[in-house]
Structure 1
Amino acid sequence: MRILFIIFLSLFSALALSSSGFANEMTLESFQQEMSRLQNLVVSLQSTLKDLTKTVEGQNEIIHRQSVRINALEGDKSFPAGSMSAPAGAPKLAGISQGFNPDIGLVASIEAKSTQSPEDGEGNDTIALKEAELSISQYVDPFSRLDSVIAFNDNLEEQNVDIEELYYTRWGLPLGVTAQIGKFRPKIGKANLLHSHQLDTAGYPLVIRDFFGEEGLASSGARLQTIIPNPWDVPFEVSAEVLRGNNGASFSGISRRPIFDTHLKTFINISENSQLELGGTVLFGDENPAVVTFEDDALGTEIPEAGQNKYGIKVFGADATFYWFLPESKVLKLQNEIYFQNRATHTRFDNQNPWGLYALLDFRFSKRWSVGLRYDHLQPLSIVGGSTEGVSPYLTFWQSEFADFRLQYSYTKPADDGTEPNHEVFLKANVLIGAHKHPVQ
C-alpha cells in the first residue's frame, strides 16, 4: 500500500511538473504573440501619425495662403458689410445705454519730396507731416456701427482739420441690403476707396486726381449695397449711391446738385492660388457750363454766367485686379483702372471726352519687401488733343504691419508740349498705432 502511495505521488508530481512546464510554454508563446501585435500597432500608429502630420502641414499652408490673400485683398480689416447677424464682439446693451470703449487708431504719414518744378525751375524740396489720420469706430448695437476718420495736415499754405469720413452702417435689412449714411469715399473702382496711406504708391493715380480731386472723391450721401444671388455661386456685389454735388473736379461743385453712381464688383477664382476681381462704375451729375449772354449794346459784350447743365456729365469706369499668391508669402498683383467722360457741350472745360487709365504692377517678393511700377495715361479735362504720361517705380520696406517705408521716383510728361517734364523723388513713412479700420476691399 505504501508502495502504491509512493508511485501515485510520483506520478502526480510528474504530471504537476509537466503541466507547469506546459503552462510556462503557453505563457511565453502568448507573450511573444502580444509583443508582436503591439509592435504592429506601433508601426500602424506611426504611419497614421505621419499622415496626420502631412494633413496638418497642408492645412497650415492653406491657412497661410488664405491669410496672405486676405491681407492683400483687404489691407486693414473691418467687419464685412452685409452680414445678417450681429458681429462677433459687438457690445451687449444694458437697457438703452452702452459702454463707451471705441476702437481708436492714429496713422501718421510723413513725406519727404524733391521735385524739379516746371513752374519756377527751383523745385519744391520739402519734408512734412503729409497727414495724421485719427479713426474712431464702435458698434452702436448688434445691428449697426459708426465709423469716423478725421484728418490733420501740416500744409503751410492750408493747415486744416478735415472730416474725411463719418458714416453710420446698418446691416441685416431686407434682401440682405446694407445701408450707409454720412460722409464716405464712394465705391468707385479701386484707388478712390483707399486713403492715401493705403495706396501702393506715394499718391493717387493721375486720372483719379484729375477727374475726382487730389485726394479722390469723398462726399456726404447715402449708400445701399447687397450681394446678388445667382445660379453660378459667384459673388456679385452691387452698390448704388447718391452724393452731394460739391465735388468741383468734374461736376458742378454745388451741394444741391447731387451725383449719382452705381458700382458692380465680382470675384473669380482662377485657381487655388490666383484670383481676378472685376468692377464697373457709372457716375452722372450736373455741370456748370460757361453760359454766354450778350449785353444790349452796340458792342455785344460777352458776359459769362453760371448756368447748369442737368446731368450733363457722365463718367464710365472699369477696373480689373489680378492676384497671384505664391509660396513663402509672395504676392503678385496687377491692378488696372480706366475712366471715360462724356461731357455736355459748352462746359467750363475744353475737353468734352477726356479719359485716362493707370496700370500698376506690385510684387511682394518677401514678407518685408515689395517692388512695383505704375504707368499713367491721361487726356485731361482742360486740354484737347494732349496727353499726360507718367511712370512711377517704387520700393517698399514693410517693417511690420504697423510701419512701412516707401521710396519712389515719378516721371511726368505734361499734356502741354511747352512744359518740361517733371521729375520727383518721394520718401514716405506710414506709422500706425491703435486700431485702424477701413472698409474691406
Structure 2
Amino acid sequence: MVKKIVLSLVCTGALFAGNTEVEQLKQQMAQLQKQLEQMQQHIAALEAQTPKETAVAEESLESMEKTSTASVTTLLPDIALILNGGYTSRNVGNDTYAAAAIPGFVEAGNMEIPFNAKDGFNFNYAEVAMSSTVDPYLDASAIFHIRGDGGIEIEEAYFVTRALDYGLRFKAGKFKSAFGRVNEKHHHAWNFEDQELINNALFGPDGLGGAGAQLQWVAPTSLYLMAGFELFNGNPYQGFSAKESASTAVGYLKTSTDVADATLLAGLSYAQGKSEVQNLDGLGDPIPNSFTNYGQTRVYGADLTLEYPFENYGQLIWQNEWMQRDKDVETLTQRQSGYYSELLYKIDENWAMGLRYDDIYQNRTGDSLTSIDHLHRTSVKLEYKPFEFSRFRLQYNQDHSKYIDDQAKTIHEVMLNYTLELGAHGAHAF
C-alpha cells in the first residue's frame, strides 16, 4: 500500500514538473514572438527612414567635396602658356638689319628687335600668364616673358580691385598703359606680326607703361564712356625723365556705341612728363645712361575703330590711330607725328586677311628742326586659325622707315609665324 502511495506521489510530481516546464517554454516562446514582432516593426521603420537619411548623407558628402574642391581651387591660379615663333626672310643680312636706324627716334645700332630678329628660323618667346581672385575685393595677374635666348623678365604683375563703388577701378603694380588703341595689348594679340610703326618709334617694343598706378571710371550711362588716369615712373628712352618718381602722367577718354549693325569705338589719349634727351660725346655718339632734362614731353593720341559683322562668323574691322609727340629740347620743341590704318577682313571662323599702312609724316628734329618725313611701311597678311587657341600667319612688309649707313633703305620682309595658347588665358582687351 505504501509503495502504491509513494509511486503515486512520484508520478504526480513528475507530471507536475512536466507541466511546469511546458508552461515555462510557452512563456519563453511568447516572449520571443513579442521580441520578433518588435524587431520587425523596428526594421520596417528603419527601411522607411533609410532613403531620406542616405540622401541627406550624400548631399552632405557632396557639399563637403565641393567645399574642399573650392578651397583647393582658390589656392591655384589660372595658368596659361603662349608660344610664338616662325620663319623670316629679308633682303638684308642680320647684322645690317640690327644696325638700322629710324631717324629722329632710334640711333643706328640701338634698335630693339624682340621678334623675328634673324633671317631664318626664330623662336620668339614663351609667355607664362597667371591670374587669380585674391579675395572678394582684389584680383591679381602676372605675366612672365621668356625670350628665345632664355632671358626672363616680368612683363606685367599687378593687382586690380573688383568691388569699388561708383564705377571705379584701381590698378597698381607693373603694367602696360591703356593709352590709345593697341599699347595695352601683348604681342600675341596684335593684328599683325609686328608693332605699328608710330607706336614702336615713340614707345619701343614694350610700349608705354612700367611701375605705376591706374584709376578708371565708367560713367553710369547707356553709352559706354570710360575715363582713366595713370602715373608711371619716367622712361628716358621714350622722352620722359626718370629722375623723379611718378614723373609721367597719362589720361584718356574712351567710348563705344552701336551704329546700325556696326560697332564704333573711339578714344582720346594724352601723356606728359619732363623731357629727357640723351647726351652726346665729343664725336657725336650717344653716351649710355646719360641724359639732360629740358622742359616737357607731351604725347597726343586719337583712335577710331569700326567693326562690322557678317554672317558665318565674318567681320570687317577698320582700325586707325594717330599720335604726335612734342618734346622740348633746349630752346626748341621737336615735333613728330604719325598714324596707321588697318583694314582687317575675317572671312569665317578660320580664315582672315589684312592690309596696313604706317606713316610717320612729320619728323622735325635737330637744332635747326630739320625734317626727315614720310617714314612709311605697307603690310599685308593672311591668317589661318584651325581652332580658337592656335594661329598661323603669313605676312609681307615693304618697309621704307629704316636708314642703313645714313641712307634710306627699302627692306622687303616675309614672315611665317605660329602662335599657340595653352591653358586658361584671360580675355583680351576689346
TM-score, shorter chain, exceeding 0.5? yes
1:345 shift after superposition: 2.9
Among the aligned pairs, what percent are the same residue?
26
**Residue of 284, 298, 308 corresponding to 1:314:** 298
**Residue of 175, 180, 183 corresponding to 1:189:** 180
Does residue 1:211 correspond to 2:202, yes or no?
A: yes
2:113 alignment counterpart: none
**Residue of 411, 417, 430 corresponding to 2:419:** 430
What SS does the aligned partner of 1:191 have?
coil
In the alignment, structure 2 segments of 5+ residues that lack a partner are: 1-65, 99-117, 281-286
Query: Where in structure 2 are the equivalents of 1:320-335 lying within 5 Å?
Result: 320-335=304-319
2:88 alignment counterpart: 113
**Residue of 264, 269, 273 corresponding to 1:281:** 269
In 1, the alpha carbon distance for the partners of 2:151 and 2:279 equals: 34
In 1, the alpha carbon distance for the partners of 2:297 and 2:210 equals: 17
Name the aligned partner's letter for residue 234 of structure 1. Answer: L
1:62 alignment counterpart: none
Does residue 1:365 correspond to 2:347, yes or no?
A: yes
Name the aligned partner's letter for residue 140 of structure 1. Answer: V
**Residue of 136, 159, 163 corresponding to 1:172:** 163
CA 1:366–1:351: 2 relative to 1, 3 Å: farther
Does residue 1:406 correspond to 2:393, yes or no?
A: yes
How many residue pairs get aligned? The number is 333
TM-score (norm. length: structure 1): 0.69
In 1, the alpha carbon distance for the partners of 2:156 and 2:209 equals: 8
Does residue 1:267 correspond to 2:267, yes or no?
A: no
Q: Judge which range, 161-170 or 406-415, deviates more.
A: 406-415
CA 1:328–1:386: 2 relative to 1, 3 Å: same
1:307 shift after superposition: 2.6
CA 1:117–1:314: 2 relative to 1, 3 Å: same
CA 1:290–1:409: 2 relative to 1, 3 Å: closer
In 1, the alpha carbon distance for the partners of 2:325 and 2:422 equals: 40
1:249 shift after superposition: 2.4
2:357 alignment counterpart: 375
In 1, the alpha carbon distance for the partners of 2:93 and 2:364 equals: 20
Task: Tell me if structure 2 keeps the 8 A contact 1:192–1:208.
Answer: yes
In 2, the alpha carbon distance for the partners of 1:405 and 1:119 equals: 24
Does residue 1:135 correspond to 2:129, yes or no?
A: yes
In 2, the alpha carbon distance for the partners of 1:128 and 1:314 equals: 36
Q: CA RMSD, aligned part only?
A: 3.1
In 2, the alpha carbon distance for the partners of 1:93 and 1:432 equals: 29
In 1, the alpha carbon distance for the partners of 2:213 and 2:326 equals: 25
Name the aligned partner's letter for residue 158 of structure 2. Answer: Y
2:144 alignment counterpart: 150
CA 1:255–1:373: 2 relative to 1, 3 Å: farther
Name the aligned partner's letter for residue 316 of structure 1. Answer: Y
Query: Where in structure 2 are the equivalents of 1:10-409 lying within 5 Å?
Result: 99-117=74-92, 124-155=118-149, 159-230=150-221, 233-246=222-235, 248-254=237-243, 256=245, 258-271=247-260, 273-289=261-277, 306-310=291-295, 312-346=296-330, 352-378=334-360, 379-380=362-363, 384-409=371-396
1:341 shift after superposition: 1.2
CA 1:109–1:374: 2 relative to 1, 3 Å: same
1:344-387: CA deviation from partner (whole Å, max 9, x where unpaired): 1339xx98000110001100011110000110001458672322
What SS does the aligned partner of 2:385 have?
strand
Task: Tell me if structure 1 keeps the 8 A contact 2:189–2:428.
Answer: no
What SS does the aligned partner of 1:203 have?
coil
Name the aligned partner's letter for residue 432 of structure 1. Answer: E
1:122 shift after superposition: 8.6
TM-score (norm. length: structure 2): 0.71
What SS does the aligned partner of 2:381 have?
strand
1:174 shift after superposition: 3.5
Task: Tell me if structure 1 keeps the 8 A contact 2:183–2:199.
Answer: yes
1:265 shift after superposition: 0.6
1:250 shift after superposition: 2.9
In 1, the alpha carbon distance for the partners of 2:407 and 2:228 equals: 43
